Amino acid sequence: MLEVVEVTRRVLVPRAPSVEELPTEDGEPLESNWHRIQINLLVDVTHQLWPERNDYFVGGNMFVYYSAHQIRERDYRGPDFFVVLDVPGGDRKAWVAWEEGGRLPDIIIELLSPTTAEADLLSKKQLYERVFRTSNYFAYDPDTERLWGWHLNKQYAPLQPNERGWLWCETLQVWIGSWTGEYEKVPSTWVSFYRPDGSLVPTAAEAEATGRRAAQAEVERLQAELTRLRRAG
């Protein structure tokens, strides 16, 4: 008579690597100084959208990890600029989806260059649409000053510009468009954010300067009122 023996099989599930175990940079410099400054500008004005909030993460030129296959293939992807909503703020060395509850960017902006334009408009766009399911994707070519944008329904649908050439970003509730001015002491044409009323979202330095001017104007108003009351008395 055969004895039936129950055998319990253990399936070993590979442990997902932590951010400390993953590359966080590839040693490749940004395409140009303009690209570096433009990323800084986008991060800057994003924080000015929500000065009192700490429930979002904004990143620039950093890797986004989303799958084991990506790691095996060493297919490191780093959007030029992205925002993830409804997550704790703070700093990260890289965005690692499995350490963030599976969350991936809600908006991505890629800054084109002659060496990246094809990938940005084809393979990366397909990745953001089919895998990331990123709600809004934008691509900007600084050489031609052309801006593309898509909004995700079942698939990406192209956004139509308004009369100023701006594209509406449903995710951030802002218009995205070009702005010509000086940032980090460099005059150029940049991509920036405009509020629904058409006003340009200020940088931190601009907001601080506006606050100082408003405070000074209030001091002068009170001094004038005090002088008036003294003369009247």
- Give the model's pLDDT for residue 8: 47
Whole-model pTM: value is: 0.82
90 domain residue, yes or no: yes
Asked whether residue 194 is domain-assigned, the answer is: yes
Q: Note whether 134 and 229 are same-domain residues.
A: no
H helical segments located in 78-122: 117-121
| Integer CA distances (angstroms), 181 to 2, 203, 223, in order | 86, 12, 35
Q: Is residue 181 part of a domain?
A: yes
Cα 225 to Cα 117, 180, 214, 215, 218: the distances in Å are 60, 40, 16, 15, 10
- What CATH number has the domain bearing residue 71? 3.90.1570.10
Task: Quote the CA–CA distance of 210 and 167 in Å, as a whole number.
Answer: 27
Residues 56 and 153 in one domain: yes
> 15-36 burial, b if ≥16 CB within 10 A, otherwise e?
eeeeeeeeeeeeeeebbeebbb
Residue 5 domain flag: no
- The predicted-structure confidence for 115-139, as pLDDT tens digits, reads as follows 999 999 999 999 999 999 999 999 9
Give the residue carrying structure tokens 């599930």.
13
Instruction: Supply the pLDDT for residue 207.
Output: 81
Q: Are residues 91 and 150 both part of a single domain?
A: yes
99 in a structural domain: yes
Report helix, strand or coil for 217: helix
| Average pLDDT in the chain | 86
Summarised one tens digit per residue, pLDDT across range 20-67 is 677 666 556 567 899 999 999 999 999 999 999 999 999 998 899 988
193 and 230 assigned to the same domain:
no
Q: Say whether both 194 and 210 belong to one domain.
A: no
121 & 233 share domain: no
Please give the residue range of the domain that contains residue 191. Answer: 22-201
Tell whether 6 is covered by a domain: no
My answer on whether 170 and 228 are in the same domain is no
pLDDT at 13 (0 to 100): 41
**How many domains is the chain partitioned into structurally?**
2
Same domain, 68 and 177: yes
- Answer for the pair 57, 95: CB distance below 8 angstroms, yes or no: yes
For residues 146 and 228, state if they share a domain.
no
195 & 163 share domain: yes
Same domain, 148 and 214: no
Q: Give the CA distances from residue 155 to residues 15, 101, 124, 128, 196, in Å, rounded to whole numbers and listed in that order.
A: 32, 23, 14, 10, 25
Strands 81-85 and 56-60 come out as antiparallel
Please check whether residues 69 and 170 belong to one and the same domain.
Answer: yes
